[in-house]
Amino acid sequence: MYQAVIGVEVHFELSTETKLFCRCRNSFGEAENTLCCPVCLGLPGALPVINSRAVEYAISVGLALGCRVNSSTRFDRKSYFYPDMPNEYQTTQAFIPICVDGCVEYELDGEVKSVGIHEIHLEDDAGKLIHSDNGTRINYNRAGVPLIEIVTEPELHTAEETVAFLEELRLRMSYLGISDCKMQEGSMRVDVNLSVHKPDQPLGTRTEIKNLNSFRAVANAIKNETQRQIKVIENGGTVIQETRRFDDVKGVSTVMRSKETHEDYRFFPEPNLPPMYITDAQIDHIRTNLPEFASKRQKRLCTYYGISSADAKIITADRLVADYFEAVASLCDQREAANRIVRDLMQKQRETKIHITESHLTAEKLAEIINLFVSDRISRRTSREVADVAFCEPIDVSDYIEKNGLFQITDEQVISDAARSVISENAAVVNDYRNGKSAAFSYLVGETIKRLNGRASPQIVNKMVDLMLKSNKNL
């Protein structure tokens, strides 16, 4: 029985305000070549200056993944020619990465597993080639954007484990709030290293699979490559160390380059950047400011707000949603808040592709709606309808309810007047009620609500009808 041995290399673009080595703005989707300067264009004579915010971000990632932070670290040049790379070398950390020796626990089917983190290093991104019929252009807006590369130990064995780890990793990164973590936009990129062997035998030769732009592609590529390597061995062949590209649509991988044609990157220290020294005080400061991560927060939300573990898990899967929940829950009924967010708003978020926190439904507005519902001023249906509208439009909640006549009638005099006339006009039904037909009571309640144009509070109508039927003399 073969076992796959898997390690991943994950790149995240850091969402710093400026690039890694210059002061150009770091932003996605701007007009081509508008975020460039002599440094990130690799002009002759230009020199790099390290963005200390990016260094802090990398340290916080290291701490979030249980790494040791190197007290002295530096940058190295990695040389290879590719037209989108302005200097024709990448500035990375080949010899002394900023963080090493971490460990991440993740959950798969209720079981807690762990994987070692070999290292985390900082490096700069390249520009982007834009191919068209008229030739190839280069957009350098991305050139110099800070990246961190997280390299795991080869301690994963299945597609499921790998994806579960990646989900945990992405969750932690999003909690740190230092990357967009969007695989489609390239702000999170995953390369997989994989070999197969029989557990009692030495490790096999590994291949690297690149070009994976979704978790689904990662899972498919792992399954595909595991089977491919097993087949090669079973057929008496040998696995060749090479880099492969996975096509998720066709479900096949093809060779990008083999080890023989692999470039010698000629790593050597970047002379323009003196070594960086990171003090314990700096590390402690960053550690103190780390957020409460999802698994811990999930437990706290359950005990503190009394919401279900399932709801807490959904809410904490997104730090911003969890922040939103806590803001709402501090203003109204907490379980109702969880209920609304998990049942209604997550759905709305998926439909509209607008994040809750970017919608018009602020935490204050949702709390106002919930409070109106809990105090019976509006019906559940109304509360959902108002929340739905408030998600997409900047309405004033009370104004909207008022203008659309959605407030419930709670005046007991008005309701008892209506109930009295319904009862007096439906003698036969009242008779049925007296003979023990429970449906008769519901009918009378329904008719009373109808008479009040459906706006009466069902609870109060219930109460008033019940009261009247029980006290004959009022009829």
Partner 1 sequence: MDILNFSAIELSALIDKKELLPSEIVTETFRKIDTLDNKYNSFITMLHDSAMTEAKKSDARAISGKRLSVFDGIPIAVKDNICTEGIKTTCGSRMLADYIPPYDATVITHLKNAGMIMVGKTNMDEFGMGSCSDTSYFGAVHNPFDLNKSAGGSSGGSAVAVASRMVPLALGSDTGGSVRQPASMCGVCGIKSTYGAVSRYGLVAYASSFDQIGVISNNITDGAELMNIISGNDTLDSTYVGLKDGFTHSLSLPIKDKVIGIPKEYLDGNIDGEVNEAFLNAVSVMKQLGCRVEYFSLDALKYVVPCYYIISNAEASTNLSRFDGVKYGYRAADFTDVNDMMVKSRSDGFGAEVKKRIMLGTFAITSENYEKYYKKAMEIRDDLSSSFDRLFDRYDAVMCPTSPTAAGPLGVKETDNIRMYLSDIYTVSANIAGLPALSVPCGFTGEGLPIGVQFMGRRFCDAKVISFAAEYQRATDCHKWLPKGAI
Render 56-106 in DSSP notation, one character per residue: HHHHHHHHHTTPEEPSEE--EEEE---TT-TTSEEEE-SSS-SEEEEEEEE
258's tokens:
């083999």
Instruction: Assign 37 to helix, strand or coil.
Output: coil
Among 182, 266, 437, 450, binds partner 1 (CB under 8 A): 266
- Closest CA relative to residue 331, chosen from 294, 372, 296, 300: 372
Length of the chain: 475
- List strand residue ranges (DSSP E) for 109-156, in order: 111-124, 128-132, 135-139, 146-152
Cα dihedral sign, 420-421-425-429: negative
Our finding on whether 259 is near partner 1 (CB under 8 A) is no
- Closest CA relative to residue 117, chosen from 148, 152, 93, 157: 152
- Choose between 270 and 326: whose C-beta lies nearer to partner 1: 270
Our finding on whether 44 is near partner 1 (CB under 8 A) is yes
Among 83, 251, 394, 454, binds partner 1 (CB under 8 A): 83
- Closest CA relative to residue 77, chosen from 335, 315, 284, 266: 266
- Choose between 72 and 438: whose C-beta lies nearer to partner 1: 72
Per-residue binder mask for partner 1 (CB under 8 A), 138-177, x = binder: x---------------------------------------
Among 11, 32, 50, 210, binds partner 1 (CB under 8 A): 50
**In the complex, what is the shortest distance from the CB of residue 202 to partner 1, in angstroms, rounded to a whole number?**
24
Among 267, 400, 407, 443, binds partner 1 (CB under 8 A): 267
Site for partner 1 in 116-145 (CB under 8 A): 136, 138
Is there a contact between 339 and 378 (Cβ–Cβ < 8 Å)?
no
Q: Which segment (45-53, 199-207, 426-434, 438-446) binds partner 1 by CB under 8 A? A: 45-53
Task: Specify the residue for token string 């490790």.
Answer: 203
- Choose between 33 and 410: whose C-beta lies nearer to partner 1: 33
Our finding on whether 268 is near partner 1 (CB under 8 A) is yes
**In the complex, what is the shortest distance from the CB of residue 161 to partner 1, in angstroms, rounded to a whole number?**
33
Site for partner 1 in 89-118 (CB under 8 A): 89
Is there a contact between 152 and 117 (Cβ–Cβ < 8 Å)?
yes
Our finding on whether 475 is near partner 1 (CB under 8 A) is no
Q: Which segment (55-63, 184-192, 267-275, 350-358) binds partner 1 by CB under 8 A? A: 267-275
**In the complex, what is the shortest distance from the CB of residue 132 to partner 1, in angstroms, rounded to a whole number?**
15
Among 2, 11, 28, 46, binds partner 1 (CB under 8 A): 46
121: which residues sit within 8 A by CB, 6+ positions away?
A: 58, 92, 93, 94, 97, 98, 99, 148, 149, 151
Residues 9, 319, 287: CA angle, nearest 5 degrees:
70
Our finding on whether 448 is near partner 1 (CB under 8 A) is no
Q: Which segment (46-54, 311-319, 369-377, 391-399) binds partner 1 by CB under 8 A? A: 46-54
Distance (Å) of CA 99 to CA 59, 71, 176:
7, 9, 16
Among 2, 27, 53, 79, binds partner 1 (CB under 8 A): 79
Among 17, 25, 43, 352, binds partner 1 (CB under 8 A): 43
Q: Which segment (36-44, 101-109, 346-354, 398-406) binds partner 1 by CB under 8 A? A: 36-44
Q: Which segment (60-68, 261-269, 310-318, 400-408) binds partner 1 by CB under 8 A? A: 261-269
- Choose between 48 and 144: whose C-beta lies nearer to partner 1: 48
**In the complex, what is the shortest distance from the CB of residue 153 to partner 1, in angstroms, rounded to a whole number?**
23
Would you give the distance in Å from CA 172 to the centre of its chain?
Answer: 9
Is there a contact between 6 and 222 (Cβ–Cβ < 8 Å)?
yes
Is there a contact between 179 and 150 (Cβ–Cβ < 8 Å)?
no
- How far is 279 from 247, CA to CA, in rounded Å? 45
- The contact set with partner 1 (CB under 8 A) reads 38, 41-50, 77, 79, 81, 83, 86-89, 136, 138, 264-268, 271-274
